[in-house]
């Protein structure tokens, strides 16, 4: 019979080798180029992240890339300029355009073989001071002229290089706003000037965008627009009206800004299906899942698990609807998330500020991996990716 210490030593060595094997597995997977969100996604689904070019991509030609840039290029097949194409940044004065941030996003995307979602052309927020001031006395004709010139200039500059544009963003109020769900003819300076027929202005915004870039898929985009509710009913009616009038509307986007303080609307897939039945593409355009944190700014294990479930539920709704063309997270790391600056919440993205992948990331990766065989290619004839 073996001596007990020998048995213990053999057991210890066996245990140590098991630990070594276990430790080497994640490292091997992390070192492999084959397991990223973009590599596992179905061919017909772009996986994107928002990025603020002015902050994080200027001077990208310098080698080597930052850790942030390396992950942005490796994990995502699509980019959305988080701020760089919004009015205040791209059109700061009546006759001045600043394309530096937007150009940086385009250059990075080209270098990393990524698509770009344009964002955004008609919105009530983040407008430059000159628009806010001038719009006080605008006629509808004035508003139309300013909007058309802006759209033709910005969209025209990147024509053929942007696969989807959020043309009209957040144009409906919420149920809890004064007046309830209705077009934002107070907060949106363009719709306010054209309050007598705001739908005509919205339709023309799509027409001008389509003329400037006939290839781009043109979206309506909003928050609180995931499931079937009063707001998405209003969008559904508007979409039917625009399509009946021959407007080149071709997409509906649900932003997907969720908070664990509220429930998740299980009708998201059904909502996507009804817009798809109108012939529109659909997309999750700005996904993040924020939460209230404890005094140390830490989430609970329960919150972390629920966050992963919510991210995954949004991706599932997209994967299950053939018309869903893109799933975009609104930034991928907590250090750059817009959330803490706006809400008393945090931990909203799929990686920590040190780029540690959260269970939410793992859930997305697994669903994308499982989804690949189930989705038929549905790139429309004549559409080609600009790589």
Name the 3-class secondary structure at 28: helix
Q: How far apart are the first and last CA of the chain?
A: 69
Q: Distance between CA atoms of 65 and 386, rounded to whole angstroms?
A: 23
Short-list 97, 66, 101, 107, CA closest to 81: 101
Give, in order, the Cα–Cα distances in Å from 102 to each of 82, 137, 266, 318.
10, 30, 36, 27
Structure token pair of residue 310? 């919510």
Question: Which residue is catalytic, options 170, 196, 211, 226?
Answer: 170
Q: Distance between CA atoms of 210 and 299, rounded to whole angstroms?
A: 44
Active site residue 40: no
Question: Which residue is catalytic, options 286, 345, 353, 366?
Answer: 286
E strands, 239-344, in order? 251-254, 257-259, 281-290, 324-329
**Which DSSP helix (H) or strand (E) runs through 104?**
helix 100-111
Phi, psi of 345 (to 5 degrees): -140, 170
Active site residue 302: no
Structure token pair of residue 362? 């793992």
Q: Distance between CA atoms of 139 and 192, rounded to whole angstroms?
A: 9
Ramachandran area for residue 333 (φ above 0: left; ψ -120 to 50: alpha; else beta): beta
List the catalytic residues: 170, 286
């Amino acid at each position: 019979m073996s001596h007990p210490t020998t048995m213990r030593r053999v057991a210890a060595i066996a245990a140590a080798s098991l630990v070594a094997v276990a430790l080497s597995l994640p490292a091997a997977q992390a070192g492999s180029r084959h397991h990223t969100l973009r590599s596992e996604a179905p061919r017909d689904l772009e996986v994107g992240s928002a990025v603020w070019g002015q902050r994080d991509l200027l001077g990208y030609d310098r080698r080597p890339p930052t850790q942030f840039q390396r992950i942005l290029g490796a994990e995502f097949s699509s980019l959305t300029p988080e701020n760089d194409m919004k009015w205040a940044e791209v059109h700061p004065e009546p006759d001045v355009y600043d394309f530096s941030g937007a150009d940086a996003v385009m250059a990075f995307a080209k270098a990393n073989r990524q698509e770009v979602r344009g964002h955004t052309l008609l919105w009530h927020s983040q407008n430059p001071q000159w628009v806010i001031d001038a719009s006080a006395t605008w006629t509808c004709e004035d508003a139309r002229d300013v909007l058309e010139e802006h759209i033709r200039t910005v969209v025209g500059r990147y024509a053929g290089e942007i696969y989807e544009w959020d043309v009209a963003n957040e144009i409906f109020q919420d149920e809890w706003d004064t007046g309830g769900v209705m077009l934002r003819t107070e907060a949106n300076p363009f719709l306010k000037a054209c309050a007598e027929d705001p739908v005509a202005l919205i339709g023309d915004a799509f027409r001008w965008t389509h003329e400037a870039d006939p290839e781009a898929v043109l979206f309506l985009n909003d928050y609180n627009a995931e499931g079937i509710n009063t707001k998405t009913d209003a969008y559904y009616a508007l979409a039917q009206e625009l399509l009946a009038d021959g407007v080149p509307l071709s997409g509906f986007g649900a932003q997907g800004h969720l908070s664990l303080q509220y429930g998740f609307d299980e009708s998201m897939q059904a909502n996507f299906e009804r817009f798809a039945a109108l012939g529109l593409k659909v997309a999750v355009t700005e996904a993040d899942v924020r939460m209230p944190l404890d005094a140390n700014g830490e989430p609970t294990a329960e919150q972390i698990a629920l966050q992963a479930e919510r991210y995954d539920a949004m991706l599932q709704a997209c994967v299950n609807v053939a018309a869903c063309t893109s799933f975009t997270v609104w930034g991928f790391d907590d250090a750059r998330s817009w959330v803490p600056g706006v809400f008393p919440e945090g931990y909203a993205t799929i990686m920590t500020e040190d780029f540690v992948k959260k269970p939410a990331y793992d859930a997305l990766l697994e669903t994308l991996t499982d989804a690949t065989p189930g989705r038929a290619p549905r790139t429309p004839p004549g559409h080609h990716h600009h790589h």
